[in-house]
Amino acid sequence: MADYVKVRDGHTSRHPTSGARHLELDHVQPYNHAHPDQGGPTSPANLASTGKRDHQTKTDRLITVTGNANHELTYRTGDGKTYPSRPHQYTDPRPEPPY
């Protein structure tokens, strides 16, 4: 699952303004260690690649993140600005000829 998430995210942080080179996986909806059935699941839809600083910013509630990581996440800052984040878009390196 970790490998899938890293590849889906293009080996970069999903945080829109991040330049992080070392990544970790972050639960979009936090995992509840005391009551796992009441928190965010450990699934590709709920995991996103982030840099350590990006992850900490969310943990400290300076930003909020919502959405489905397989499709689009929305990052919201404390002043209400929102930034979309989509999975990496891979393209075919050898597209079919147009004829």
- Walk along the chain (99 residues) in steps of 10 and give the mean pLDDT of each run: 96 94 94 88 96 95 97 96 95 72
What is the predicted pLDDT for the residue at 33? 85
Instruction: Find the domain containing 12 and state its range.
Output: 2-85
Split into its structural domains, the chain has a count of: 1
The predicted model scores a pTM of 0.85
What is the pLDDT, as a whole number, of residue 75? 98
> Is residue 13 one of the residues assigned to a domain?
yes
For residue 95, is it within any domain?
no
Residue 97 lies in a domain: no
Q: Is residue 57 part of a domain?
A: yes
21 lies in some domain: yes
The answer to whether residue 6 is domain-embedded is yes
**What single string gives the DSSP state of each residue in 31-89?**
P-SS-GGGS--SSGGGEEEEEHHHHHHHHTTSEEEEEETTTEEEEEETTS-EEEE----
